[in-house]
Amino acid sequence: MTIQKPNEYILNVYKPVDKSSYDIVRIVKRILPGMKIGHGGTLDPFAEGVLLILIGKATKRMNELLKLRKSYEAILRLGKATAAGDNTT
């Protein structure tokens, strides 16, 4: 009996506040050299959350995955002003 290795993977990866979505892709590329790697949507660098990492043939399903329903949870601080209008300045 021959066991075949799957040719597509979708991983749910936690993205911390200090990393960009592409930082996570670069980390996975170092772990899996030679594999085609992408992500299923960008999270802002100052946002944390679950990032879909697409590996192999799963990268061809990106448009399909981007249409999936998403949910967001946020904490707001009212009355604070910044130069850029976000929490980076």
| Active-site pick, 18, 23, 44, 86 | 44
41: left (phi over 0), alpha (psi -120 to 50) or beta: left
What secondary structure letter does DSSP report for 28? H
Count of CA atoms in the C-beta half-sphere (13 A) of 62: 15
44 catalytically annotated: yes
Active site residue ranges: 44
